[in-house]
Amino acid sequence: MERTAILLTATVSLGVSGVLGFWLIPWLKRLKYGQTINEIGPRWHKSKEGTPTMGGLMFIIGAVAGLAVGYISLILEAPQFLSAQYFIENVRLFAGVGCALGFGLIGFVDDYLKVVHTRNLGLTAKGKIFLQVFVAAAYLFVMYRFGGSDTNVMIPFIGTFDFGIWYYVLSMLFIIFMVNAVNLTDGIDGLATTVTFFVSVGFIILSTLLGYIGTGLLSTAVAGGCVGFVIWNFHPAKVFMGDTGSMFLGGAVIAMAYGISMPTLAILSGIVYVLEAVSVMIQVTYFKLTHGKRLFKMTPIHHHFELSGFSEVKIVVTFSAVAILGCALSVLAVLNL
């Protein structure tokens, strides 16, 4: 019953996101909402300074529009989706949308402050974490209050375990980790967008296999939005998504994983995000333990490959292949249940 809804969701999301570029990019340029490049990054990135940022608004608007059209189509075609039978699935869908938009709003505030101050500093680290904790807690509370959460967690290829009250503590930490991991992945043209497209496609497949219609629509909306945006974001990028976009995508990936009651699959499907974040953690730890030595040339790890001679396009292709492998492992884990 969801085929038409999924098709409409993908079409509208991709179309709106892509077409918005013709209007939003010139508007951001007129407002002088250009990216300030961090001086500790690769020196050749300075040439990108001034490229419009906050372009994540394109796929956020596209995804929301596509999801709205797809959801209405689904209700018209299958009114039973509003029945008590699908209540929990609707909770997971709308809580997930709220989660993604909540993190996207944090990113928007961060980007806006950077633009206003004309330097690569937005929210303070404490301020950002506080807001992220608030959004994560709100998401988990809604899921708990309306029956959308399950403390039984599937560990891929191992088994299912009941974490009890620790489920919510660990989920809080996990959500914040993953959102920031996606944010770290957004460091070169088209990387976060392309990787998240494949992650979203992976969750479309997982949602279909497990019968989660709502999460399937959300995953489709995000995938379509990413395709529409990458037209403008692929190297050489005409616009950056900014924290507005990367944090929205982080929240969306979390919503997809929790939407099918398998949050650990965000680790497999989102293996690229995890590796990016872990590379930073390893670098910082090694730097402190060795009093100034570095294990990688630069982190997040995509910068290490840049400094090793990889082009931005080659990095995107390589990391996308890793993302596809991670998604394939997630599908295999579900098939082996």
Q: Which pLDDT score is estimated for 150?
A: 86
> Is residue 216 scored above 90 in pLDDT?
yes
Mean pLDDT of 141-156: 91
Helices 125-145 and 242-259, packing angle to 10 deg: 30
Summarised one tens digit per residue, pLDDT across range 94-140 is 999 999 999 999 999 999 988 877 666 778 889 999 999 999 999 99
- What average pLDDT is seen over the chain? 92
Torsion sign over Cα 14, 20, 26, 31: negative
Kindly state the tokens that stand for 183. Answer: 């944010």
Three-class SS state of 40:
coil
Q: Which pLDDT score is estimated for 116?
A: 76
Q: Are 6 and 220 in contact (CB under 8 A)?
A: yes
Tell me the C-alpha to C-alpha distance, in Å, between residue 64 and each of 71, 259, 289, 307. Answer: 10, 17, 46, 37
Confidence of residue 148 (pLDDT cuts 50, 70, 90): confident
DSSP H/E element including 265? helix 265-269
> Is residue 1 scored above 60 in pLDDT?
no
Q: Are 195 and 272 in contact (CB under 8 A)?
A: yes
Q: Which pLDDT score is estimated for 120?
A: 63
Q: Which pLDDT score is estimated for 86?
A: 92
Mean pLDDT of 241-266: 97
Q: What is 55-89 written as a DSSP string? A: THHHHHHHHHHHHHHHHHHHHHH-GGGGSGGGHHH
Three-class SS state of 152:
strand
Summarised one tens digit per residue, pLDDT across range 41-51 is 565 555 566 78
Residue 314 sits at the vertex; the CA angle it makes with 59 and 189, to the nearest 5 degrees, is: 30
Q: Which pLDDT score is estimated for 122?
A: 76
